[in-house]
Structure 1
Amino acid sequence: MEANVLERLPEPIILKRLMRIQAALNIILCQDEWLRYHSFVPEWDEGVGMAKIDNGAGDHLLILFSSAGCIIKGFDHESELSPYAQDEHKVWQGIYDDAPKELLSLLNDDAIEQDDVTFCIWRETSDTNWHKGKVEVPEGASDGTDFLIGCIFHTPEDFAEFAKGYFELSLSLDIVAKIYDDAPITAEMIKLLNPDCDVKEVLQELKSLHL
């Protein structure tokens, strides 16, 4: 199952595009930034972009993009591998051990909470595959990889289904598909997706994504 999860991840450049698209849709659908499920900051640090998935229930996925490659930190708060589930609060053995130092250093920021982790996945620029640390997961336990990587919606259909449950909005699949196809986002599209939003405010915020 784990191999299948890694195989589901696209190349970093495609993953970055997907995360930016989902962040744009979240901006349109939810004016409260702290309630958004997907977000993206093109310049989190110099030369580093950051995507985040936060379900508001204590689980998150952070994806950092740089010229050196891409590193993904996942945290499932119910996982047995969580530092909070152990007698001694520490990162589960093996999660970060094999990660390239240059990519791992991207997580060295207080705002990222590096130790709040149950799995780590990475891919250097020269790699052709994604990698994950050699971790002994107890029988019957889960590190949250399948769950959290599954929150990256590869198709407009998947995103529309998610939005119906999370935002309680029935979206025009045609418009969502256009955004997934990199069509310029217009005021009309925004209004059709979310009639209650402030269109000017949304358009202004969308500029920050460097679409």
Structure 2
Amino acid sequence: MRAVHNSSLPSVLECLRRSQSLALMDALLSPEWEYRYYSFNSGWSESEQMASMRDGSGDHYFMLFTGGGAVAKCFAHEIGAPQRVPVSLTDLQHVIPERYQSFLREPAFLMDELSLLIWFDVEQQLWLQLSPEESITDPPADSLMKMLSAPQPGAYVAWAREYFESDTPSEAVAAIFAHQPLTEALVAAFNDDVSLLDVQEECRDIGYPVAVR
């Protein structure tokens, strides 16, 4: 078991902002929460925010933003047992920094289902991931977080077309990724059956800005 550099993720701040954007776009396209992939809780605690992804088939990730850093776990159920990280909670506690220890003990994060553990090393200013002794190149679990590192809106547009059967304009997706304040026009670009008023509470929960009328 060893920690290796993960170069696929952007900065912690960019991960946070993109997580908020993904959660908002899913909320606009799917008013029913149970059909969404992405969610974001800006008030997980007084000092923490949490992003998650669930695909409905068992694959998921949870990412906790805390103290200027972040830690995440991924689970891809189709990864064979030899590829999973075969470690106990005690083993993990010896590897990741003290600032992230509470993440390992949080029942909501399902630590018994672990394919990949990633954290941001604040001192070194880089992402590290926990890998088995025999490193796996581009592990499938890492691909669960591809939307966080996709630089252009096209990836989400293509995914939403397939999953939600929605032809969302790339300009609207780019605007949300840029954290432009949400307007009635932006809402309608995603879903003309939803109004700005309908998603006001969602925006508060996510921490996404809304245009002042």
The residue type equivalent to 1:30 in the other structure is S
Query: Who is 2:140 aligned against?
Result: 144
Aligned positions of 1:1-211 closer than 5 A = 6-67=6-67, 69-81=69-81, 92-93=86-87, 96=92, 97-137=94-134, 143-152=139-148, 153-211=150-208
- Superposed CA RMSD in Å reads 2.8
Describe the superposition over 1:83-113 as per-residue Cα deviations: whole angstroms up to 9, x where unpaired: 9x9xxxxx61388352123313223122211
In structure 1, what is the Cα distance between the partners aligned to 2:36 and 2:104? 22
Preserved CA contact (<8 Å) 2:24 2:206: yes
User: Given the two structures, how large is their TM-score scaled by the length of structure 1?
Assistant: 0.84
Alignment gaps of 5+ in structure 2: 209-213
Describe the superposition over 1:41-92 as per-residue Cα deviations: whole angstroms up to 9, x where unpaired: 0121231110001111100011101006211100011112489x9xxxxx61
Percentage identity across paired residues of the two chains: 25
Q: CA deviation at 1:207?
A: 2.2
User: Given the two structures, how large is their TM-score scaled by the length of structure 2?
Assistant: 0.83
Preserved CA contact (<8 Å) 1:42 1:48: yes
Higher relative contact order (CA 8 A, sep 6+): 2
Preserved CA contact (<8 Å) 1:121 1:131: yes
In structure 2, what is the Cα distance between the partners aligned to 1:177 and 1:68? 25
Query: Who is 1:88 aligned against?
Result: none
Equivalent pairs, count:
202
In structure 2, what is the Cα distance between the partners aligned to 1:33 and 1:182? 22
Preserved CA contact (<8 Å) 1:80 1:142: no
